[in-house]
Amino acid sequence: EREYKLVDYLDQTVIHFSLNGNLIPKDSDEGRRQSIRSITEAGSHWCVFSQAAGEGEGEEEEEGAGDEAAEEPEAAEAAEPAEAEEPPPPKGPEKKLQNQFNFIERASTTPFNPLRERGCQSEPIPSLNFSDTVRQWDIYDAYVEELQRMEKAKEKEKSKPQAVKKEEEEKRGARKLSHVEVQYVDPITRVAKAAKIAERMVTLNTFDDIAQDFKYFEDASDEFRAQQGTLLPLWNFQYEKTKKLAVTAISWNPKYKDLFAVGYGSYDFMKQGHGMVLLYTLKNPSFPEYIFSSNSGVMCLDFNSEHPHLMAVGFYDGNVAIYSLRKETSQPSYKSSAQSGKHSGPVWQVKWQKDDMDNNSNFFSVSSDGRIVSWTLVKNELVHMDVIKLSAEGTMQGPEGLQLQTLGCGTSFDFHKKIDYLFLVGTEEGKIYKCSKNYSRQFLDVFEAHHMAVDTVSWNPFHLKVFISCSSDWTVKIWDHTIKTPMFVYDLSCAVGDVAWSPYSSTVFAAVTIDGKAHVFDLNINKHEALCTQLVVTRKKNKTTHIQFNPFFPIIIVGDERGLVTSLKLSPNLRKMPKEKKGQEVKKGPEVEMAKLEKLLSLVREPKDKA
């Protein structure tokens, strides 16, 4: 019928070995004969009863000896014709040989447990031999010991605090079931892994030409364009239920280099609704690996670098939540509430930090309410602490002539890669604050960065002093945090939605603008213009919102307002490495990248110092 049919149950049983036993039904003739024989043999083994019966018979013989002597002639006369008529005794049934290795028919099928200590010095119960009895008690003792061990383990688990239980669960991870723990698994779940592999194989065959380009294609025309490059479109990732939602966040998983998460929501205040978090893999662009739904729009997300299965998510309604990829449920493992200190405005960004001194996972969030909040996972609940509150300059006229201090609206932030306490916060007013975790009431420095909201601020992964910012005022600026003025300013002639540093070079970064274009810069090649400006979104009235570099492969992913995520491969000119000189080895690493960017910055600083 050219369609898939749902099979409720599919019998996958294959018999590899079968053995026919020689048990006999009790109602059969052979069964009756064996039961009679076992009863007659049992009488000879019970010493107490036989001994008592022997003594009684001896007394009767002494008392009635005379009577027997008198009756002997009469009995002899009566016995003569009986003996003449008696037929020969029938042959007894042949003794059945038992299979010494067939334990099912022996001790394990005994309907009762023999006593360990007997009341008299007699032989064992006739239906069992002694070795079978010992073996059965060994098995019984083993089961009792296992049961006691499991009960003690349960008591210990109950007495442990919640924090210890959480640590042990994380260490064990997805613990496999032992032979004692048997659970029913439906047929669909049994073949889920095989079906996933088959689906990836079919998808790989379907998109084989794109997979070949991803692995092997290099734009040969770059040889004739010294300072220009191109972006080769690869896979498109889109889910049916997210076509009316905008891509509000993108994050690559720190452990699995092909896995990334996409957050869906809306930047329009009048069109707020539900949100979603989807996790895609490059191995299967046709359908997401994980799907999480929420009642409020998703504004930001971030993976934990130490625990890659944990994902922090910020929502438009001010809540934050933690999702675990190890749990099969689509609900968050932990979520804030009005009682636990949720934000009163949209959460624009979340960032994981290193575990604290007590090995508790923690992350930070920034919101339009001006609060920078630290969230710590303690005893299976989120504990919040306000790190700093942003305050705008000036006061606001309140009722009855009261002067009210206005709060700043945080839109983005980023923590320093080496200095743990140092972080930057971008605001809706266009300012960038340099803050410290140690000071909650004052800022280390303030940068008059942009004329409109700061959409993104990010430290350079190689150079410790450099950070980049972008804004809706059409500009991208590169800063040295020790200098109040920007080192480089780029006007992209359109509102900039996002900017990101490359993970392989200190001088390469990319930005997206709301006109649907992606811009890739390399300061080492051209300090004034982009090496590549390419249209990524083809539909009208569609805007690109976010961009991210893959930390391992030479590709970028771009999200737009229609829920579409596009992957593009960088041409060789956009990912140039230092040239190899004769007689010298090419040096690579963070120190080399930092020195390369420092050299460029020194050229910019010199004219300013002279002025």
Is the confidence at residue 313, as pLDDT, over 70?
yes
**Two tokens, residue 524:** 């080492």
Is the confidence at residue 303, as pLDDT, over 90?
yes
Separation of alpha carbons 298 and 50, rounded Å: 88
Q: In 238-356, at which residue ranges do the beta strands (DSSP E only) sit? A: 246-252, 259-265, 275-281, 290-294, 298-303, 310-315, 320-324, 334-335, 347-353
Highest mean pLDDT among 183-187, 417-421, 551-555: 551-555
Q: What is the DSSP letter of 308?
A: T
Answer yes or no: are the C-beta atoms of 262 and 249 closer than 8 Å: yes
pLDDT at 131: 53
Q: What is the DSSP letter of 189?
A: H
H/E stretch holding 148: helix 130-159
Which CATH number does the domain 216-395+402-574+590-605 belong to among 1.10.20.10, 2.130.10.10, 2.60.120.10, 1.10.3720.10?
2.130.10.10
Please give the order of strands across the beta sheet that includes 488-491: 454-459, 466-471, 475-480, 488-491
Separation of alpha carbons 298 and 318, rounded Å: 10
Cβ atoms within 10 Å of 58's Cβ, excluding its own: 8
Question: Which amino acid would we find at residue 68?
Answer: E
Separation of alpha carbons 413 and 173, rounded Å: 32
Question: Using alpha carbons only, what angle is made at residue 518 by residues 516 and 522, rounded to the nearest 5 degrees?
Answer: 165
Per-residue confidence at 98, pLDDT binned at 50, 70, 90?
low
Which tops the pLDDT comparison, 100 or 109?
Answer: 100
Which tops the pLDDT comparison, 467 or 21?
Answer: 467
**Domain edges within the chain:** 216-395+402-574+590-605
pLDDT at 586: 45
Answer yes or no: are the C-beta atoms of 382 and 362 closer than 8 Å: no
Is the confidence at residue 466, as pLDDT, over 60?
yes
Q: What is the DSSP letter of 284?
A: B
pLDDT at 583: 46
What residue has token string 């340099």? 434
pLDDT at 73: 47
Highest mean pLDDT among 118-132, 313-327, 392-406: 313-327
What digits encode the pLDDT tens for the residues 156-182? Answer: 877 767 666 666 666 555 444 443 344
Per-residue confidence at 116, pLDDT binned at 50, 70, 90?
low
pLDDT at 78: 44
Phi, psi dihedral angles at 545 (to 5 degrees): -120, -35
pTM for the full predicted model? 0.65
Answer yes or no: are the C-beta atoms of 280 and 296 closer than 8 Å: no
Strands 275-281 and 259-265: antiparallel
What digits encode the pLDDT tens for the residues 219-265? Answer: 888 788 777 888 999 999 999 888 889 999 999 999 999 999 999 99
What digits encode the pLDDT tens for the residues 47-58? Answer: 444 454 455 545
pLDDT at 463: 86
| Burial (CB count <10 Å: 0-12, 13-18, 19+), residue 233 | middle
**Two tokens, residue 437:** 């975790």
Q: In 390-442, at which residue ranges do the beta strands (DSSP E only) sit? A: 391-397, 403-407, 410-415, 422-427, 431-436
Region 284-306 average pLDDT = 90
Separation of alpha carbons 529 and 519, rounded Å: 10
Is the confidence at residue 287, as pLDDT, over 70?
yes
What is the rounded radius of gyration, in angstroms, for the C-alpha atoms of the chain? 41
State the alpha helices, DSSP H only, in 160-304: 162-172, 187-190, 192-206, 208-216
Question: Using alpha carbons only, what angle is made at residue 551 by residues 545 and 556, rounded to the nearest 5 degrees?
Answer: 35
Separation of alpha carbons 374 and 391, rounded Å: 18
Separation of alpha carbons 588 and 137, rounded Å: 69
Q: Rounded to whole angstroms, what are the CA distances from 396 to 345, 391, 393, 403, 417?
A: 19, 12, 10, 6, 37
Distance of CA 352 to the CA centre of its chain: 17
Separation of alpha carbons 346 and 20, rounded Å: 71
Give the SS3 label for residue 582. coil
pLDDT at 498: 92
**Two tokens, residue 167:** 């640590």
Is the confidence at residue 582, as pLDDT, over 50?
no
Question: Which amino acid would we find at residue 500?
Answer: A
Is the confidence at residue 140, as pLDDT, over 70?
yes
Is the confidence at residue 34, as pLDDT, over 50?
yes
Region 547-568 average pLDDT = 91
What digits encode the pLDDT tens for the residues 58-91? Answer: 544 444 444 544 444 444 444 444 444 556 666 5
Q: Rounded to whole angstroms, what are the CA distances from 574 to 221, 226, 329, 521?
A: 13, 10, 41, 8
Q: What is the DSSP letter of 327?
A: S
What digits encode the pLDDT tens for the residues 339-358? Answer: 888 888 899 999 988 888 78
Of residues 368, 363, 369, 366, the one with CA closest to residue 382: 363
Please, what is the end-to-end C-alpha distance for the chain in angstroms? 81
Is the confidence at residue 191, as pLDDT, over 70?
yes
pLDDT at 469: 93
Q: What is the DSSP letter of 258?
A: T
Is the confidence at residue 512, as pLDDT, over 90?
yes
**Two tokens, residue 235:** 């896979």
pLDDT at 165: 63
Is the confidence at residue 316, as pLDDT, over 80?
yes
HEC-encoded secondary structure of 15-26:
CCCCCCCCCCCC
Cβ atoms within 10 Å of 218's Cβ, excluding its own: 12
Supply the DSSP string of 82-136, one letter for each residue: HHHHPPPPPPPPPPPPPPTT-GGGTGGG-SSPPPSS-SSS-PPPTTS-HHHHHHH
Question: Using alpha carbons only, what angle is made at residue 308 by residues 302 and 313, rounded to the nearest 5 degrees?
Answer: 25
Separation of alpha carbons 324 and 326, rounded Å: 5
